[in-house]
Structure 1
Amino acid sequence: MKKFDKYIASIRLVFLERMAYTKGLWFDIVSTLVSILLYFLLWQIVFREQSSIAGFTAIEMTTYVILSKILSAQFSGGVNLIFSKWIVAGEIGTELLRPMGLFALLGMRRMGEFFFSIIFQAIPVLIFGYFFLGGVGPASMMHLSLFFLSVIISVGIMFYVEMLFGMGCFYTLSYYALTYTKQALMELFSGGVVPLALFPGVMADILNILPFAGMVSIPVNIFLGKYTAWESWFYIGVELFWCAVLWVITHVVYRHVIKKVVVQGG
């Protein structure tokens, strides 16, 4: 029970930290809305010439844009930032001495960031987007349930990818390039920029089974009913597979890099 209380306290701490910077919160909301609006206008121009693209109608593409931008809004943050800063500042040694393990501590922070994003960013943006731009609801209650399940699993994928990029700082001692690289890869290969169905055939097939697809493409396509029930469960299985693979890779890499703890600047 005490361990559970520590987890809740870690999540609560993230909420308190984020609420302390209300201007930053408003900026995130506005920037997400602007991004949605720009993509919406772009797709409206494209759909003037045709009724569907890669199996998406105009209203479905609007829904895809809204949901994908909400999910991909988390890519600019992540635990790799605080992990990298600990390494660069030479604080990683202190963090390793805390009662809560490093993975548990950062994992709870990631969950806190996710829940904060859903409550204070996703819900307002979703309401605004659907009210002013329109959109379609879930294909069915089953698809809605599987959508939420897929999104929850995607948090695990994001966490392990962020941990790997964070650990890269042990070698670079600089987190700016790694952070921007991570964000760019996640945006492009997750379907956060355009649906993966728009990529050339073989490339689309490959991207659909990579871990990045589980962050945006898989949950949104499930929501829209682009997958049958069997296909939805298959892709959720793909997400779980990558969670397990990334768990192993992350822990193997961690055991290697933790031996290279370097304090920069003394």
Structure 2
Amino acid sequence: MKKFYYLVRMTFLEKMAYTKAVWFNTIGTLVSIFSYYFLWKIVFMGENELVGFTMGEMITYVILSKVLSSQFAGGINMQFAEWVYEGTIGTELLRPVTLFYTLFARRSGEFAYFILWKGIPVSFISFFILRGVGPAGAGEFLLFLISVLLALVILFYVEFMVGLASFYTLSMFGMAFTKTAVLSILSGGVVPLALFPEGVARVFGLLPFAGMVSVPLNIFLGKYRLEECMGYMGLQIFWCIIMGALAHLLYHMVIRKVIVQGG
């Protein structure tokens, strides 16, 4: 546990060195939130409710979805790729902890920094100005927090598998851009999944990506009954296990090939 804490703290302090970049990123997220706010204000003109969302609920959805989905850019796939391209991946593999352990600790440190320096400030400013609605209740808020942590685990495994592609590509930027675009759409980070055709929305809702944005926010807004919350969070746990198993399988396949080729 001490090693994990050390890696989390080290990553947090590394991020502190780039505070100015974070503020620029924060401004970009705020601009995106306000742009979507005015767009939805036009869409809701003359309407009290749209696909089960009131205007106040949609404001909240926009704020929190933009905050959560802003995590899709970057991530540990970039750190993974940097190690591969610089040739230091061998050193990382020789450490007394596994690569999964190291990268998950780093991702946790990034997330902690993100929450303190971007998530909370952006949410506070946006809610104060745009007047979104709060959580449906204390229970829903607690389940929302747990769901967000499960979302982080799913996101970590996605980023890890994307990072593995760096062994076969000369640049990670194309893969990273594709990852961000795909996750933003399939997670409900662009628009609520309920706006898609019913069949498509149902399929998207069963995929692991929905657990990154759509599920936590619908829990926050009280769109699910308690048994539905448990069901969707159970699905998140299921995908954590499946994605974790797949990531480990691909990792061992790739590393075995690297070891054989590298002697």
Give the 5 Å matches for 1:57-76.
57-76=54-73
Q: Identify which of 17, 31, 48 aligns with 2:45.
A: 48
Partner of 1:192, secondary structure, is coil
| Distance in structure 2 (CA, Å) of the matches to 1:248 and 1:101 | 15
Counterpart in the other structure of 1:251: 248
Q: Identify which of 127, 131, 144 aligns with 2:128.
A: 131
Give per-residue Cα distances to partners, 1:132-169, cap 9 Å, x unaligned. 00111111111111101100111100000000100011
Counterpart in the other structure of 1:196: 193
Counterpart in the other structure of 2:225: 228
User: Which 4+ runs in 1 deviate beyond 4 A?
Assistant: none
Q: How far is the alpha carbon of 1:261 from its aligned partner?
A: 2.8
Q: Identify which of 224, 237, 241 aligns with 1:240.
A: 237
Counterpart in the other structure of 2:92: 95
| Distance in structure 1 (CA, Å) of the matches to 2:257 and 2:168 | 8
| Distance in structure 1 (CA, Å) of the matches to 2:20 and 2:153 | 28
Q: How far is the alpha carbon of 1:13 from its aligned partner?
A: 1.0
| Distance in structure 2 (CA, Å) of the matches to 1:86 and 1:30 | 30
Q: Identify which of 134, 138, 141 aligns with 1:141.
A: 138
| Distance in structure 2 (CA, Å) of the matches to 1:79 and 1:110 | 6
1:154 to 2:186 alignment: no
Q: How far is the alpha carbon of 1:189 from its aligned partner?
A: 0.4
Q: How far is the alpha carbon of 1:260 from its aligned partner?
A: 3.1
Give per-residue Cα distances to partners, 1:171-200, cap 9 Å, x unaligned. 123211110111111101000000000011
Contact 1:87 1:173 in 2 (8 A): no
RMSD: 1.0
Give per-residue Cα distances to partners, 1:38-91, cap 9 Å, x unaligned. 000100011113221111111100000001011111111211010011112221
Give the letter for the 1:176 counterpart. Answer: F
Give the letter for the 2:57 counterpart. Answer: E
Partner of 1:6, secondary structure, is helix
Give per-residue Cα distances to partners, 1:184-221, cap 9 Å, x unaligned. 11101000000000011110001011000011000000
1:7 to 2:4 alignment: yes
Q: How far is the alpha carbon of 1:36 from its aligned partner?
A: 0.5
Counterpart in the other structure of 2:212: 215
TM-score, normalisation: structure 1: 0.95
TM-score, normalisation: structure 2: 0.96
| Distance in structure 1 (CA, Å) of the matches to 2:210 and 2:136 | 20
Counterpart in the other structure of 1:109: 106
| Distance in structure 2 (CA, Å) of the matches to 1:19 and 1:90 | 26
Give the letter for the 1:218 counterpart. Answer: V
Counterpart in the other structure of 1:33: 30
Give the letter for the 1:49 counterpart. Answer: G
Deviates more, 1:164-173 or 1:207-216: 164-173
Matched residue count:
259
Contact 1:84 1:175 in 2 (8 A): yes
